[in-house]
C-alpha cells in the first residue's frame, strides 16, 4: 500500500494502525495522518484476509461452494449461506419447501441476534473501554451457539442451509429451547442497554461522532443497520421480500437522532439494539408458522445446471445487504460470482467520515459500523 495519499508534512505524523491492533476486528490496517489526537486522513489497507472466495466460487460446483460462504461472514454464517442458496435457487428456478423457508428465517434471525450481540453492540462497548457489557453479550451469544449447535453441530461456521432447502430438520425441543431463551433474552437485552447504552459516558462518546447523512449513506453504498441509522427506511426483508418475511409482522427501526444528530454512532448502536428486539418478535411468530409437512429440501437434479445468464440476488444480513452477482454459463459451476457485503461499503466510507475525528473516535466508528475484516476482504 503506498502511503502517497496520506503523506505527512510539518506537524503531522503518520501512524500505522494494524494489521495487529486490538480494535480492528480482524486483520485490517489503517494508515492515519494525525495531528496530535486529531486525524486528518485515513487510508484503510485491506486484503490481509483475502481468501479468494470469489475465485473459489468459479472452481467448485454450486453445492460445494456452500461451506465457503460461511467464511464470507463468519459472524453471520447462516445469512451468508442463505444469500448463496437464494442466488442459485433464483437463477435455477428451485422452489424451496415451506418448512425449509421457515427454518431459514428462524436461523437467520437467531444468527442476526448473535451477530449484533458480538459485532454490533458488544465489540462497540469493548472498544469504548467497557469490557463488562461485551462479556454479558458473549454470555447470551453462548446460549444461542448451544442452540444452533444442537441444530447443525457447528458453533461458528454452520454450513446448514442447502440449495433448495436446509440440511436437517429441527431437532426435538428446538422450539421450546429457543423460546425459553427468548423469554430470558428480552430482559437480558434491557439490562445490557441499561449498562451500556444508557450510560452517560457511552452516550457522550458516541453522540455526534461519525455522522452520515441519508444522502451520503446512499452515495457511499452503506446498507443495513448503518443505512437505517442514517434515516433511510429500507430493509430487504420488507422492501424486496423473500422467504416468508412478507407474512411476518415486524418494524424496521430507523435512526431517530436520539442524541441530536441522525446518523451518528449512537443511532447505529440504537438501531442494532432495536433490531434484536424485532428479531425476537419474528422468531416468536416464525415458530408458530412451522408447517407439519416435514419436507425440508426440494428435489434437485443430480448435477445442478442453471441456465446461462446473470442475476443479482441479495438477502438482509446483519451487516446489511449481502448479495451475489452470479454469472452462469450453463455449466455446473458459476462462471463468476461476486459477493457484495455491508462491511466493504462501510470500510470504504470510513475514509470520508473519519476526517477530523480523534483516534478514540475512529475506533468507535469502526466498531459502530460493525465492520469485520473477513467481509471486507472475502
Partner 1 sequence: MQEFAEKLYAPGGALEGAHPWLISVAVMLGGCLIVFLFAAHIAGIYSWFERRFAGRIQSRVGPNRVGPQGFAQWAVDGLKTFQKEDLIPEGADSALFKLAPYVAFAGMFCVFAALPFSSSWVIADFNVAMVYIFAVASVEAIGILLAGWASNSKWSFYGGMRSAAQIISYEIPVGIATLAMVIAAGSLSLQEIVRDQGVNPLDWNLFYSPFAAVAFLCFFTGAIAEINRAPFDLPEAESELVAGFATEYSGLRFLFFFFAEWANIYVISAIATCVFFGGWQVPGLPTERLIQFGAPITYGFLTLTMLGAGAMGWWIAAARDDKGLRGGTGNSVAATIISLALGWGPAITAGVLLWAALMFGVPPGIQKFMANVVQMLCLFAKAHILVVLVIQLRWTLPRLRIDQLMMLCWKYLTPAAFIAVLGNAFWMTYVAPDSIFQKLVRLALFAGFVTLLVIFAMRVARNLRQTRSAVDLKLNV
Partner 2 sequence: MTSDEIIARLTQKFGAEKIQRVKPEGVPQPVAIVAADTLRAAVKYLQEDPELDCGYLATICASDFLPEEKKTKSADGQEKIEKIPGRMEVAYHFGSYAKNHRVNLKVVIPSRENPTVPSIYSLNPAADWFEREQFDLLGIQFDGHPDLRRLLMPEDWQGYPMRKDYQQAPEWRGIPTSRENSHDLFLKRLAAEEAEEAAEEKLS
370 binds partner 1 (CB under 8 A): no
Residue 124 vs 322, nearer CB to partner 2: 322
273 binds partner 1 (CB under 8 A): no
Residue 119 vs 165, nearer CB to partner 1: 119
Q: Where would I find the H helices in the chain?
A: 53-59, 66-72, 77-92, 98-115, 123-127, 131-152, 174-192, 200-206, 214-219, 224-229, 236-239, 265-288, 342-353, 359-368, 373-377
Instruction: Please answer whether residues 66 and 163 qualify as being in contact, where contact means their C-beta atoms are separated by less than 8 angstroms.
Output: yes
Question: Which stretches of the chain bind partner 2, using CB under 8 A?
Answer: 1-2, 5, 46-47, 50, 52, 54-55, 90-91, 93, 218-221, 227, 232, 234, 239-240, 306-312, 314, 321, 323, 325, 327, 335-336, 338, 340, 344-345, 347-348, 352, 377
> Which 3 state secondary structure label does DSSP give 66?
helix
Residue 143 vs 329, nearer CB to partner 2: 329
For the segment 171-190, give every residue that binds partner 1 (CB under 8 A).
173, 176-177, 180-181, 184, 188
The entry of partner 1, partner 2, none that residue 251 binds, CB within 5 to 8 Å by partner kind: none
How far apart, in whole angstroms, are the C-alpha atoms of residue 163 and residue 298? 8
How far apart, in whole angstroms, are the C-alpha atoms of residue 235 and residue 241? 9
Cα dihedral: 142, 250, 342, 34 (round 10): -80
How far apart, in whole angstroms, are the C-alpha atoms of residue 143 and residue 84? 27
Q: Is 155 exposed, middle or buried (0-12, 13-18, 19+ CB in 10 A)?
A: middle
For the segment 20-39, give every residue that binds partner 1 (CB under 8 A).
21-23, 37
The entry of partner 1, partner 2, none that residue 15 binds, CB within 5 to 8 Å by partner kind: partner 1
Residue 125 vs 314, nearer CB to partner 2: 314
What is the number of residues in the chain? 378
The DSSP-derived string for 192-210 is HIIIIIT-HHHHHHHTTSS
Residue 85 vs 151, nearer CB to partner 2: 85
Instruction: Please answer whether residues 192 and 272 qualify as being in contact, where contact means their C-beta atoms are separated by less than 8 angstroms.
Output: no
**Nearest distance, CB of residue 181 and partner 1, angstroms:** 6
Q: Rounded to whole angstroms, what are the CA distances from 48 to 1, 55, 376? A: 12, 16, 10
Interface residue with partner 1, options 149, 247, 251, 310 (CB under 8 A): 149
Q: Is the dihedral of CA 5, 123, 68, 326 positive or negative?
A: negative
Residue 171 vs 330, nearer CB to partner 2: 330
132 binds partner 1 (CB under 8 A): yes
**Nearest distance, CB of residue 210 and partner 1, angstroms:** 13
The entry of partner 1, partner 2, none that residue 18 binds, CB within 5 to 8 Å by partner kind: none
Interface residue with partner 1, options 51, 55, 139, 299 (CB under 8 A): 139
8 binds partner 1 (CB under 8 A): no
55 binds partner 1 (CB under 8 A): no
Amino acid at each position: 500500500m503506498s502511503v502517497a495519499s496520506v503523506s505527512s508534512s510539518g506537524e503531522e505524523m503518520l501512524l500505522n494502525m494494524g494489521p495487529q491492533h486490538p480494535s480492528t476486528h480482524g486483520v485490517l490496517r489503517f494508515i492515519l495522518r494525525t495531528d496530535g489526537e486529531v486525524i486528518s486522513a485515513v487510508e484503510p489497507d485491506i486484503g490481509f484476509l483475502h481468501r479468494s472466495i470469489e475465485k473459489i466460487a468459479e472452481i467448485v460446483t454450486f453445492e460445494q461452494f456452500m461451506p465457503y460462504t460461511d467464511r464470507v461472514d463468519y459472524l453471520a454464517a447462516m445469512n451468508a449461506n442463505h444469500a448463496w442458496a437464494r442466488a442459485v435457487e433464483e437463477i435455477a428456478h428451485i422452489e424451496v419447501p415451506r418448512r425449509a423457508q421457515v427454518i431459514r428465517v428462524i436461523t437467520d434471525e437467531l444468527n442476526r441476534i448473535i451477530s449484533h450481540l458480538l459485532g454490533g453492540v458488544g465489540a462497540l462497548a469493548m472498544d469504548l473501554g467497557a469490557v463488562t457489557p461485551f462479556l454479558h453479550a458473549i454470555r447470551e451469544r453462548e446460549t444461542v451457539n448451544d442452540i444452533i449447535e444442537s441444530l447443525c453441530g457447528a458453533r461458528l461456521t454452520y454450513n446448514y442451509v442447502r440449495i433448495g432447502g436446509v440440511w436437517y430438520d429441527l431437532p426435538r425441543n428446538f422450539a421450546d429451547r429457543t423460546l425459553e431463551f427468548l423469554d430470558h433474552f428480552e430482559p437480558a437485552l434491557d439490562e445490557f442497554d441499561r449498562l451500556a447504552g444508557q450510560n452517560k459516558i457511552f452516550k457522550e462518546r458516541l453522540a455526534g461522532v461519525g455522522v452520515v447523512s441519508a444522502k451520503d449513506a446512499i452515495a457511499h453504498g452503506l446498507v443495513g443497520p448503518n443505512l437505517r441509522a442514517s434515516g433511510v427506511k429500507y430493509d430487504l426483508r420488507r422492501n424486496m421480500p423473500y422467504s416468508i418475511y412478507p407474512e411476518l409482522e415486524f418494524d424496521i427501526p430507523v435512526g431517530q437522532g436520539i442524541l441530536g444528530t441522525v446518523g451518528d454512532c449512537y443511532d447505529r448502536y440504537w438501531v442494532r439494539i432495536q433490531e434484536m428486539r424485532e428479531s425476537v418478535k419474528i422468531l416468536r411468530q416464525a415458530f408458530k408458522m412451522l408447517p407439519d409437512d416435514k419436507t425440508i429440501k426440494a428435489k434437485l437434479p443430480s448435477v445442478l445446471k442453471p441456465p446461462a445468464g446473470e442475476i443479482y440476488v441479495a438477502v438482509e444480513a446483519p451487516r446489511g445487504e449481502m448479495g451475489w452477482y452470479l454469472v452462469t454459463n450453463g455449466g455446473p459451476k458459476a462462471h463468476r460470482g461476486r459477493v457484495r457485503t455491508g462491511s466493504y461499503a462501510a470500510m470504504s466510507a470510513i475514509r470520508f467520515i473519519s476526517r477530523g475525528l480523534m483516534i478514540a473516535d475512529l475506533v468507535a466508528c469502526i466498531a459502530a459500523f460493525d465492520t469485520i475484516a473477513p467481509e471486507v476482504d472475502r
